[in-house]
Structure 1
């Protein structure tokens, strides 16, 4: 028998301390809008975050990054997106994970240019990312590709076809695409 999906999504509890005036303002807004206090807080956070972009300017372009650019339903993709933005002050562990992912890119990205994530791979591998990093650290002097083999096994156990691993030596050395690594058509377009 199929289970009926629960309404809404997975939620998390947040406890905050408010002075009486702020609590009154929340109740006032809740009654005025006919919303729960939770909805008032959620929408205020969304409005504040949407109006606070990270601005990057170069002599050629101006780029604005907002939370919407970093959001993904995949927890692993969200974590990786955040670790790529210096303005969000990634921790050493976040930077370490991101460096590992970039080194082992066939397991995480659609192509060598590392533009789009393979969410189905990330969803399987991310809960064990620290374990795979530890395998890499422990084994890199004996078998540099050991973590990749462990990740390939994890993908096979999830009934997914892992990428070709290790990558072709010519591809790794020259950065040129070889084998079936050109899975992302955007990576092959010269403009």
Structure 2
């Protein structure tokens, strides 16, 4: 959309209308960005009946706003939106990994918190396959702890996971595998 709007010389207006729509749910041509500022023809898509009946409960669309902030490298905005998103009830955590990867260098503590949360959710599944998946996020955490000179915190995390989940033999095996692979 950006490429097409830039060719038409109207990207700032289109961007503003899109961001306003994602924040409020108001279609741009119906007052979201103001008719005088929206450079494109009116939106021809009708509002779904379910939205008319139940209101605009899917707005603001924080996940999409986070994706846009990541794309535009506005990491402070992405983190702020993510903190708002975490206050809501969510069914999906698809944006979490994407955000953590994008902000690992600029906001390492937030990235570590996201990866820890994902790993904890996976460990709570009490399935060997989930433990292997959790190890992937633990490796990300190890890398960031190493880059920020906090390997003692990494070691403490592994010790606490071992103590908290000592009855989960398969998880302990996965943690041992991280140590043997040189990740610890």
**TM-score, scaled relative to structure 1:** 0.29
- Name the structure with the higher helix share: 2
**TM-score, scaled relative to structure 2:** 0.30
- Name the structure with the higher strand share: 1
